[in-house]
Amino acid sequence: MNLNLKALFPSYRYFRSKPTQLSYDSHIFYHHETKEWFSISKHEVSQRDYEWLTVFYTEVTSSPVQASDLWYEFIYSNGDMPPKLKFNKARVIQITFINENPPLEALKEALYNFFQEDTVFLQVAKNQFLLIEPEKHSIREKEDFIALIRTIEADFYVRIHLYLGEFYAINQDFSVKFQREAQWFKECLHLRFAEPYYSFQTIFPILLTEQLPTSILTFIEEQIIIPLKSDKELLETVKTFCECGFNISLTSKKLHMHRNTLTYRLSKFQEITNIHIKNLDGVILVYFASYLWSFLQHAQK
- pLDDT at residue 60 is higher than 70: yes
pLDDT-based confidence at 300, cuts 50/70/90? low
pLDDT digits (tens, 9 = 90+) for 242-276: 878 888 999 999 999 999 999 999 899 888 888 88
Sketch the domain layout of the chain as residue ranges: 5-59, 67-206, 212-299
**Fold matches, 67-206 and 212-299:** no
Superfamily of domain 212-299 in the CATH hierarchy:
PucR C-terminal helix-turn-helix domain (1.10.10.2840)
SS3 89: strand
pLDDT digits (tens, 9 = 90+) for 6-28: 888 988 988 877 776 666 678 88
Mean pLDDT of 214-234: 85
pLDDT digits (tens, 9 = 90+) for 149-159: 999 988 888 88
Give the span between the Cα atoms of 149 and 168, in whole angstroms: 24
- pTM, full prediction: 0.67
- CATH architecture of the domain 67-206 equals 2-Layer Sandwich (3.30)
- Residue 215: exposure state from Cβ atoms within 10 A (0-12, 13-18, ≥19): exposed
CB 95 within 8 A of CB 40: no
Mean pLDDT of 285-291: 81
